[in-house]
Chains A and B, each alone.
Chain A
Amino acid sequence: MHPILGQPRRLVPYLLGWIPLAGMLVYLLAVPGGLTWTEAIALGVPLCLLYAFMCLSAWYSCRGTSLEHTGALQLALTHLLAAAIVSGFWILCAKALAHLLSKFPAFQGLDPRLSKNLPLLFGTGILLYLLAVAFFYVLLAAQQSQEAKEREMKAGVLARDAELRALKAQVNPHFLFNSLNSISALTSSDPAKAREMCVLLGDFLRRTLGLGEKAAIPLEEELSLIRSFLAVEKVRFGARIQMQENIDKDALDVFVPPLLLQPLVENAVVHGISNLVEGGWIKLDISSQDGSLSIAVENSFDPDSPPRPRGGVGLANVRQRLATRHGNLASFEVKAEGDRYRVAITMPAEREARAS
């Protein structure tokens, strides 16, 4: 969109900017040009107003030939040619105006006297046009830097957003409340077990606290986080949780974003196990080969169970974090088949920590 024609409130300051130029043109026509002051004003002011609009066309040629991507010669040729055409058209208009004015008795003989000045007018036209070109390049640069700033800000907001969501996802408050309720039950019936549960819960919370700042942790660390999460949940659900692990030793030192798998296991408990009267199983398969890491979290669930809130939030978070970190190199698949639910992830196996 044209920066001045597209926004009418910019047109006024633009035209005001042309007032000194109009003054200059009048002076040129009167002093070196030998016209009377009345004639110079009658010609110069309308011509200048006309040229102010004609120079707006410089924007299109400026936008078409960006300073970074165009050679100096092409740049000079393009703008000089455009200047010559616009200025040529302008002096034709000047001639027509002079012809019109010479019909009035006050301006008799203006036409031939202007004709002497046409080369001067043509040169001025070219200079003014080039001035407009410079002006639009400055405007373009300002616009681009503004856009860049906005993009940067947007990216920053997105990154902070993701971080916040990741932090929120860390500890599900209901997990905490339910665990505290279990401890409350155990304090009278089995104080030793209550203390054990406090220790387990403390252990899990301490592990999650430090993780927010890290971009990646070894898989082994994530697995021990999951185990300490499940240790707490096993006190709550007792024999209802069956955990099977099938983990490739090679994969243990691969780096993964922290809390990548814990939300998946938590989902398996919240949406799977806790809806099954007789309990259910969670299966964790991890293997690493040819520089890629494959992870599958599978669990049993009751397809007829009432839907629970918070579904999908954890999954969306994991998917998004994988995408931000690895783009197309990572895949994330969710499949519900009969009474089993499976989330499969493949991603590049990074052996060294790197900033995301």
Chain B
Amino acid sequence: MTQPAEKKIRAVIVDDEELARQVLREFVTAHPEIEIAAECANGFEAVKSVTELKPDLVFLDVQMPKLDGFEVLELIGTGAAVVFVTAHDNYAIRAFEVHAVDYLLKPFGADRFEAALARAKARLAGAIPGPASLNAPPAPSPAELAAAARPPAQYLDRIPVRDGTRVFIIPVAKLDYAEAQDDYVALCSEGKKHLKQQTISSLEAALDPSRFLRVHRSFIVNLERVVRIEPYGKDSHVAVLPNGTQLPVSRAGYARLREFLDR
């Protein structure tokens, strides 16, 4: 599939430093086939712009105010070809694990930029398989990719979620429980529910197992919130939260819970 001649590639540039955006802008304007749809100076703006504008190509800084580049990618999905642009070389492996097209190290020259652009065009034309074109097995969600790319032995301390173009940050300390709902997990925090496209298993793997426990096929609970455990029916239980919410506890979940409480 080739792009129609008149259809431009729409790009978004995300970097908190004006001068860093300027370098990219200068290199991009040398290509008439690319149009800069937006420039963003922080993670929230980036999520908003990308969600609204649905660009083909995103140049993404890693360290930014509000959300870092990986959190932005987790929230915007993998629809666009993403080129990371950063001064830090230690994110490269993570970047490719989340299917970034390329990884530009600041400062970079025109040659290097052209190479990245060529890769991005190839991805957009379908030559380099992105996660979207992996048909079987089904593509992992961006959150799952991010979970897989997390450095080992480091658990999440905040979970970014997107509602339309708005971003919420849930510190894990304020997460009461998570419930699987089809392809999503519902994150319950301070009386509100936030939906995020992720499997409950990958969320479980990302959370500190000494603070969060999978008590049921569909539920993860914050252990600090469990007030008591009550028997329910013949051989199942429910965990009761401070506001009275009752979460089902499976037999295996009950065993895990007992093991934790007895420790």
Contact = CB atoms under 8 A, between A and B. Distances in A.
Contact of A182 (B17, B88, B105, B169): B17
Instruction: Point out which of B41, B107, B158 has the most chain A C-beta atoms below 10 A from its C-beta.
Output: B107
B42 A277 contact: yes
A184 interface: yes
Contacts of B19: 181-182, 185-186, 235-236
Contacts of A302: 65-66
A305 interface: yes
B16 interface: yes
Nearest to B109: A184
Contact of B107 (A177, A235, A305, A308): A177
A264 to B, nearest CB: 19
Given A185-B20, A277-B66, A308-B63, A177 B26 contact: no
A236 B107 CA distance: 13
Q: Which of A180, A185, A275, A307 has the most CB of B within 10 A?
A: A185
Contacts of A236: 17, 19
Contact of A177 (B16, B71, B105): B105
Given A274-B65, A302-B65, A178 B18 contact: no
A185 B23 contact: yes
Contacts of B67: 306
B215 to A, nearest CB: 29
Contact of A307 (B41, B64, B157): B157
A354 interface: no
Interface string A184-216: 111011000000000000000000000000000
Interface in B1-34: 16-20, 22-23, 26
A273 to B, nearest CB: 10
B68 interface: yes
The binding surface of chain A is classed by DSSP as helix
A237 B106 CA distance: 16
A305 B65 contact: yes
Contacts of A182: 17, 19-20
Contacts of B243: none
Interface string B125-162: 00000000000000000000000000000000110000
Given A305-B66, A307-B157, A178 B90 contact: no
A276 interface: yes
Nearest to B87: A177
A188 to B, nearest CB: 6
A309 B88 CA distance: 10
A309 B87 contact: no
Contacts of A275: 64-66
Contacts of A304: 66, 169
Contacts of A109: none
Given A177-B106, A307-B157, A277 B23 contact: no
Contacts of A183: 107
Interface in B169-203: 169
Interface in B41-81: 41-43, 63-68, 71
Given A274-B63, A275-B65, A308-B63, A181 B23 contact: yes
Which has the most chain B C-beta neighbours within 10 Å: A177, A181, A184, A274?
A: A181
Nearest to B88: A174
Nearest to B67: A306
Interface string A270-298: 00001111000000000000000000000
A180 B106 contact: yes
A3 interface: no
Contact of A178 (B68, B87, B108, B157): B87
Contacts of B65: 274-277, 302, 305
A238 interface: yes
B23 A178 contact: no
B63 A277 contact: no
24 contacts: A177-B105, A177-B106, A178-B20, A178-B87, A180-B107, A181-B23, A181-B87, A181-B107, A181-B108, A182-B19, A183-B107, A186-B19, A189-B22, A238-B18, A274-B63, A274-B65, A275-B64, A277-B66, A302-B65, A304-B169, A306-B67, A307-B157, A309-B88, A309-B90
Interface of B: 16-20, 22-23, 26, 41-43, 63-68, 71, 87-88, 90, 105-108, 157-158, 169
